[in-house]
Amino acid sequence: MEKFEDLIQSPVPVLVDFFAEWCGPCKAMKPVLEELKLIVGDKARIAKIDVDQHEELATKYRIQAVPTFILFKNGEAVWRHSGVIHSSELQGVIEKHYS
């Protein structure tokens, strides 16, 4: 697997879903993210990080609730949202940062 720091350095937006297996809202987001991937195609990458398996990343990015979504571009966090969100909102955020 690609190193997280290398992954987020991409000029293509990278949407990171910080989630947990035990989290009901996280499970509800799975089909939303699958739909989003079909819609945005190559305009963005979507990565999932299990906060229980990657506690150091959860701490580094101050993840206090799951799901938390952070959009990275060129290594910088350009957008963040905690909680369930509609795919059209995520699509709009990605398209805003895609260039």
**Is the Cβ–Cβ distance between 68 and 80 less than 8 Å?**
yes
**Is the Cβ–Cβ distance between 23 and 81 less than 8 Å?**
no
Sheet with 68-73, edge to edge strand ranges: 45-50, 14-19, 68-73, 76-82
The two three-digit tokens of residue 89, written as one number: 């909102």
Q: How far, CA to CA in Å, does 49 sit from each of 63, 95, 99?
A: 11, 22, 25
Q: State the catalytic residues.
A: 23, 26
